């Protein structure tokens, strides 16, 4: 029996160490946490229940039969955030660069299946170089299964993706289908093909940051919702967002007790809006004076800034806000603002989150670029 226990401890330690201390140190040197450290920050202390800890790949080509690491590059399981159940997967860049194998994909699909069965959000911590090339079509088939789970879960359970590293190829298709994407500045990237491929095919020279960095995706492309300074900030933002959404489309909205009275008077609102329609004012100020305790979680603040979207609470219950912003382009609507608002409203509709709309709009932006 003691030999069996010793073997189990050896395997458990091997799973904890991932790709080994040298690669863990390299991860830390880049200012990044490891897959398990990220889960420690994201989830309530001691709540994580891991699944499939000892799963290994079954590839026997290119010498892979001699390179087996328990967990196969992704840590999966369930835990709680402020006492509420969530399912998580955290890709481990120290193991084969976080690349996705058939077994790796099966672990992610199992977590998503469990989340759908019980009705709980799924949070993916993505740090992957894409498909594991040694497995070829089997790896690509694994991505197809993950994409299918994303589609089936859409509008049923909240899906949140945190891009924590250089994700390329298939590793960005799945996050793009989830409800919200948070990125980390200077260490996370999303692109279908990397700078070297772009240069080879089109002769265009571009950096990783300019091609698919956090700033690009939160300002120009609108693929991502927030760009955070580091891993810790991104994980804490994920904890905050989960507090605003129900566990599934069948569950009631979470209630957070508040000392902010429902009949509180805010006399400053009488003078917030200028007498002249040509004078701008900050709609953020109005929203923060309406919500409980001034707590407003904005979505896509850097893209389409002429409209504001985000979550707050009224009488302890989550509410979605859509508001024109007179400080930017006088609050006019344009294509970017319209798409941003429409996607946010669609999410709120799927999960029965009430919407408060503050309207101060002169109309739609004229011009050929908008018409086209």
- pLDDT exceeds 80 at position 140: yes
Overall average pLDDT of the 122-131 stretch: 90
For the chain, the average pLDDT equals 91
Judge whether residue 57 has pLDDT over 70. no
pLDDT tens digit sequence for 6-19: 877 877 777 787 77
Domain 1-244 and domain 267-370 have a common topology: yes
**What would the mean pLDDT of 239-266 be, rounded to a whole number?**
94
DSSP 285-296: HHHHHHSGGG--
| Residue 87 confidence (pLDDT) | 98
Give the residue among 316, 313, 310, 365 at the shortest CA–CA distance from 343: 310
Report the candidate in 42, 125, 122, 118 with the shortest Cα–Cα distance to residue 87: 122
The residue among 43 and 103 whose pLDDT is bigger is 43
Spatial strand order in the sheet of 180-184: 49-51, 74-81, 84-91, 122-126, 159-163, 180-184, 226-228
Which uninterrupted H or E stretch holds 99? none
User: Is 220 or 169 the better-scoring residue by pLDDT?
Assistant: 220
Name 329's Cβ contacts closer than 8 Å, sequence gap at least 6.
306, 365
59 pLDDT band (50/70/90 cuts)? low
The tokens for 339 are 């798409």
> 20-41: string of b/e by CB count within 10 Å (b at 16+)?
eeebbeebeeeebbbbbbbbee
For residue 277, the model assigns a pLDDT of: 81
Pick the CATH number of 267-370 from 3.30.479.10, 3.90.226.10, 3.10.290.10, 2.40.50.140: 3.90.226.10
Distance CA 34, CA 32 (A): 7
Contact 286, 312 (CB under 8 A): no
pLDDT band for position 138 (cuts 50, 70, 90)? confident
Q: Which of 151, 350, 150 is nearest to 248 (CA)?
A: 350
pLDDT at 66: 65
- So what's the pLDDT on residue 60? 65
Among the listed residues 12, 61, 62, 55, the one whose alpha carbon sits nearest the alpha carbon of residue 36: 12
- In this prediction, residues 275-296 reach a mean pLDDT of 92
Q: How confident is the model at residue 1 (pLDDT cuts 50, 70, 90)?
A: low
The pair phi, psi for residue 133, each rounded to 5°, is -65, -30
**Residue 284: φ, ψ to 5°:** -60, -40
Domain regions of the chain by residue span: 1-244, 267-370
Rounded mean pLDDT of 345-357?
Answer: 97
The percent of residues above 70 in pLDDT, for the chain, comes to: 98
- Would you state the pLDDT for residue 338? 96
Average pLDDT over residues 11-34: 84
Whether residue 250 has pLDDT greater than 70: yes
The residue among 328, 313, 320 whose CA lies nearest residue 361 is: 328
For tokens 């810790």, the residue is: 232
Minimum mean pLDDT range among 7-16, 242-251, 260-269, 302-311: 7-16
pLDDT classification of 238: cutoffs 50, 70, 90 = very high
Per DSSP, the three-state class of 52 is coil
Least confident stretch, 160-164, 169-173, 291-295: 169-173
279: closest CA among 331, 336, 337, 356?
A: 331
Q: Whose CA is closest to 69, among 12, 117, 28?
A: 12
In tens, the pLDDT along 61-120 reads 776 766 777 778 899 999 999 999 999 999 999 887 888 888 899 999 999 999 999 999
Residue 133 confidence (pLDDT): 72
- What's this model's pTM, rounded to 2 decimal places? 0.92
Q: What is the pLDDT of residue 72?
A: 80
CATH number for the domain formed by residue range(s) 1-244: 3.90.226.10
Distance CA 209, CA 157 (A): 31
């Amino acid at each position: 029996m003691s030999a069996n226990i010793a073997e189990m401890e050896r395997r458990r330690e091997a799973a904890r160490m991932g790709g080994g201390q040298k690669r863990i140190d390299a991860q830390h040197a880049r200012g990044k946490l490891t897959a398990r450290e990220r889960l420690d920050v994201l989830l309530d202390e001691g709540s994580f229940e891991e699944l499939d800890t000892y799963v290994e790949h079954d590839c026997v080509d290119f010498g892979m039969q001699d390179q087996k690491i328990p967990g196969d590059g992704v840590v999966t399981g369930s835990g709680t955030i402020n006492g509420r159940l969530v399912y998580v997967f955290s890709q481990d860049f120290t193991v084969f660069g976080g690349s996705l194998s058939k077994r790796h994909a099966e672990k992610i699909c199992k977590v998503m299946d469990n989340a759908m069965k019980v009705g709980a959000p799924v949070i993916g911590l993505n740090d992957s170089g894409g498909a594991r090339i040694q497995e070829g079509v089997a790896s690509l088939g694994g991505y197809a299964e993950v994409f299918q789970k994303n589609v089936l879960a859409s509008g049923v359970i909240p899906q949140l993706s945190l891009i924590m590293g250089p994700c390329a190829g298939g590793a960005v298709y799945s996050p793009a289908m989830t409800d919200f994407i948070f990125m980390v500045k200077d260490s996370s990237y999303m692109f279908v093909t990397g700078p070297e491929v772009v240069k080879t095919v089109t002769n265009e020279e571009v950096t990783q940051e300019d091609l698919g960095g956090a700033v690009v995706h939160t300002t120009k492309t609108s693929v991502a919702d927030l760009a955070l300074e580091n891993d810790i900030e991104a994980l804490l933002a994920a904890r905050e967002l989960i507090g605003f959404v129900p566990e599934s489309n069948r569950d009631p909205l979470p209630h957070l007790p508040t000392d902010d009275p429902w009949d509180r008077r805010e006399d400053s609102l009488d003078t917030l809006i200028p007498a002249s329609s040509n004078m701008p004012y900050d709609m953020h100020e109005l929203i923060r004076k309406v919500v409980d305790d001034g707590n407003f979680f904005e979505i896509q603040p850097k893209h389409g800034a002429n409209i504001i979207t985000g979550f707050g609470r009224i009488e302890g219950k989550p509410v979605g806000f859509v508001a024109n912003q007179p400080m930017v382009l006088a609050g006019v609507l344009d294509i970017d603002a319209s798409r941003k608002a429409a996607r946010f409203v669609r999410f709120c509709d799927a999960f029965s989150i009430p919407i408060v709309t503050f309207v101060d709009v002169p109309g739609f932006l004229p011009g050929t670029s908008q018409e086209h």
